[in-house]
Amino acid sequence: MVAKASVDRATLAPRSLAFVVFFAAGWAVLLGGGIALIGGCAGPARAPRGAALRISELVHVGDARQQASVRLVVEGLDAEIASTPQRALSRYERAIQIDPSNPFAYLALARYYAATADIERASEHLDRTRSLLDPDSGLYWGAEPHLLGLRGWALAGAGELAEAGPLLAEARRLAPSVWGDGRLDPSELR
């Protein structure tokens, strides 16, 4: 009987040690997360209500190629504001030539095509934008109202009101100052 008890302790010792290590690691993760929450580094969080992405705020982000591409997108938005849509379209297309991984060029193109009720092209560019944005980044959450709203705007322009309504309502909820009117002007994206 004594031998059996020592065998159980011998087999339990590694298991107990593993449990203690696992338990301690779990607490370290929880405490680390708590410290991150206290410090404001909680990881992926949705943008605050009303906060929507503005592309002009990203002109100095990334390497020289990325910055040049974003500058072209801003120039395109400026061209749309100035009512020169062909110049805007050429700026967006050039931005993609310089940096095909620039999600904001595709987002601007989606806005451009939603405004012209070209649902197919708007949807293609929205899909491309979503595929290029990292869901764990603040940029994703800042772009989310635009992704939802632009899809809703394009669907509404194509007469698909039943599908458009919930998307536009969610965009309005996330960014009421931008999507309150159910559309995205170039100046609101700029």
Q: Residue ranges of the domains in the chain?
A: 1-43, 55-189
Position 62 scores a pLDDT of 86
Position 44 scores a pLDDT of 36
Position 18 scores a pLDDT of 38
Cβ–Cβ under 8 Å, residues 116 and 125: no
Residue 15 phi/psi, 5-degree rounding, is: -65, -40
Question: Helix (H, G, I), strand (E, B), or coil: what is residue 127?
Answer: helix
Position 142 scores a pLDDT of 85
Position 136 scores a pLDDT of 80
Position 65 scores a pLDDT of 93
How far apart, in whole angstroms, are the C-alpha atoms of residue 171 and residue 165? 10
In 40-181, which ranges are continuous DSSP H helix?
Answer: 64-81, 85-98, 103-115, 119-132, 138-157, 161-174, 176-179
Which residues in the chain land under pLDDT 70?
1-50
Range 55-189 classified under CATH 1.25.40.10: yes
pTM higher than the cut 0.75: no
Q: Single out the residue of 113, 108, 152, 115 nearest to residue 132, CA to CA.
A: 108
Position 137 scores a pLDDT of 75
